[in-house]
Amino acid sequence: MPSRNRTSTSNSGGRSTRNLAGWSALTVAVGAVLALQAAQPPAVGAAPARGAVGRTGASGALQVSVGACPTTGGLCTTARRTALLDGRTGPLDLTRTDSGPLDLALRGPGRFTDVTVTDHEGHRIAGAVSPDGSHWTSTAPLPADGRYTARVAVERADGGRHLLHRARLALRTPAAPEGDRLGVELGPGEGTYGVGQPLTAELSHPVPATDTEARRTVERALHVSSEPRVEGAWHWVSPTTLHYRPRAYWPAHATVRVRAALDGVRVTDHLYGGPTEPLTLRTGDRIEAVTDVAQHTLTVYRDGRAVRSIPVTTGKAGYRTRGGIKVVLGKEATVRMRGDSIGIARGSGDFYDLKVRWATRVTWSGEYLHAAPWSLDSQGSENVSHGCTGMSTDDAAWFFDTVREGDLVRVVNGYGEEMTPFDNGFGDWNLSWPEWREGSALGPAVAGTGTAEGALRPAL
């Protein structure tokens, strides 16, 4: 099982009272059993001490429930889903039919002042107390068949005094039922990539857009971190595919880690998450190639500095080169290109059948930057290709050796249609950041893992 998020939200108030009387031992099994052992009351005639659990003296019952009761007013009356913090005992069945994060809800007067949840290995589970102190909610769902410990502190006022109740909750989530599992294949794979490389998550089962809660569950469990930290978000491309990109490009020489904490998590009534292999990749120099169609030049930038300007030819009328931002998909030292692959009939004056050297691919449909020795006279002056960017053999070999998968190719001042975001390669960067976040099931509030860098584009 992937390791849990180790951060938690905690308030230090009242920690010095840990050794005082009044600890309640509260055992909670999500999908199993909850029991409460009575706290010992203070000695007869003794004044209640701060930090003691008062069975009497404070008005109103005090309860803790586990994601089972309505949030509006009153005590929780759902049977077997709540425990009184007044010394009463009794087994309580806390079977959960909902998915989503763990929610500890305080019922009655008082507020949570400290909540810490850890798994059986002592790793802290991320979560937060609500502003009014009535709830603690985990950042992500808890996987099935797991054991957890929650330590809570609750403060309540009574006639000018502040009483502190403490409880320890032992949680065990039920085992996932037998059946198929939702698998996730993370991409692009181990290795070093350019700063424009999106991350991908391919699901073994579709999660339709109509099931927003299932999509939230999946997305919450897909964790991305990078050094240096950047702001980023997932985007649902289809029911089986998600892409992740930062707000701007990845930093150069960054380390990016991706993991899925879905193992055992309930996604739908009949589907639970399965195990996923984590992924670590790195980025190299920031390489961006800018093709100016009107000027017939390709300028290559390394870390913002122009290192080479190459005369090129791009797509002629009827075969215009796509505009916008593309990502290098791969490189082929030799590739056979035929006109019928893009709908040009054999026997037509436009038909071609060529072995092409030093071909760098930027779309799945067959757009490359490659050697075109047959068009040397046009390179730097006119556009005569069928959509690819052609250059001399020496320049194409240098470009081939300079770029890597994930590097950026930007086409400006052209006449072709814009590169589409997802159906012909990685056109992810052609969406604005607000447009990108609209594709997240978690909404605009999900703003990745840190402070965004600048646009990282050279001035032309």
Residues whose CB falls within 8 Å of the CB of residue 460, separated by 6 or more in sequence, listed in order: 290, 292, 412
Cα–Cα distance, 244 to 252 (Å, whole number): 17
Output Rg (C-alpha) for the chain, integer angstroms.
30
3-state secondary structure string across 1-70: CCCCCCCCCCCCCCHHHCCCCCEEEEECCECCCEEEECCCCCCCCCCCCCCCCCCCCCCCCCEEEECCCC
For residue 218, what is the enclosing H or E element? helix 212-220
Hey, what are 81's tokens? 């889903």
In 3D, which of 418, 456, 443 has the Cα closest to residue 246? 456
In 3D, which of 163, 166, 168, 167 has the Cα closest to residue 59? 163
Amino acid at 320: R
- Report how far apart the first and last C-alpha atoms of the chain are (Å, whole number): 49
Cα–Cα distance, 201 to 197 (Å, whole number): 13
Q: How would you classify the pairing of strands 368-371 and 111-119?
A: unpaired
Q: Report, as residue numbers or ranges, the catalytic residues.
A: 370, 388
Cα–Cα distance, 259 to 4 (Å, whole number): 10
SS3 content of the chain, % helix, strand, coil (to 5): 10, 40, 55
Q: Is the dihedral of CA 128, 131, 133, 135 positive or negative?
A: negative
Backbone angles phi, psi at 16, to 5 degrees: -70, -15
Cα–Cα distance, 230 to 450 (Å, whole number): 5
